[in-house]
Every structure is written in C-alpha cells, then in structure tokens.
Amino acid sequence: QLQFVESGGGSVQPGGSLRLSCAASGFTSNYYDIGWFRQAPDKGREGVSCISSHGATTKYADSVKGRFTISRDNAKNAVYLQMNSLKPEDTAVYYCAGGFFACSNYPDTSGMGYWGKGTLVTVSS
C-alpha cells in the first residue's frame, strides 16, 4: 500500500520545538511535491506548508511563517517540518501528503494523491 508515514509528534510546552518527519512507504516520494496539513479539534483541515519535489519552492501558512521550516532529503526519501516557538493554537493532528506539482494548488488539497494517517502535536502548559 502506497502511503506516507508521519512521526515526531508529541506533547510540548508553549515555546518549545518539535520536528516532524514524513516518510514514503512503498514508493519513492522524490518526484512529488509534499505538503503538511493539520486539523485541530472541531476545525477543518488547513494547509501548513508545502515543498516542491526538488526543494526549490516552499510555501507556508501565514500563521506559521517564521516559526516552521519545511525541508526534504530525497536521498532518505523523507520530508521534515521543524516547528519552533510552538503555541497552543498549533495543537492538531498533522498530516503529510504528496502529489505531482501539488504545491501549485496549495493550500488546496486536490493535488495531493497520497496521505499519511497523521501524528498528534499537543502544545500545552
């Protein structure tokens, strides 16, 4: 089964940091744009960040600009989301997803063909 697997979620205090990882299972993700999305309790899914297949283009939601950094290591078939200065409002399940040229539609999810099952991030004192 082709899917992404997220890891790195957990509980952290406000102001803390976490690094999420997204690994492709059963295929290589090197040719796909990869996006991070999140869904907080009782809210819809929102785009967080997106990175093009070669890493040359990155996009961020206004709410995370300057705090989150997306990167990828195609040699390891992995994409990362470094999250710093975390706030309680960042609490959500974080999903990674991928598709060909999908960042061009970001934050729309229509180009994302493969999804992970998510990892929970909780920011609380």
pLDDT digits (tens, 9 = 90+) for 56-112: 999 999 999 999 999 999 999 999 999 999 999 999 999 999 999 999 989 999 889
Average pLDDT of the chain? 95
Share of the chain above pLDDT 90, in %: 86
Amino acid symbol at 43: K
Note the pLDDT of residue 25: 82
Q: Tell me: cis bond preceding 14? Omega within 30 of 0 counts.
A: no
Three-state SS at 104: helix
What is the rounded average pLDDT of the residues 11-35? 93
Q: How far is residue 43's CA from residue 78's CA, in Å, rounded to a whole number?
A: 28
Q: How far is residue 87's CA from residue 73's CA, in Å, rounded to a whole number?
A: 27
Q: How far is residue 109's CA from residue 19's CA, in Å, rounded to a whole number?
A: 22
Amino acid symbol at 38: R
Predicted confidence band of residue 27 (pLDDT cuts 50, 70, 90): confident
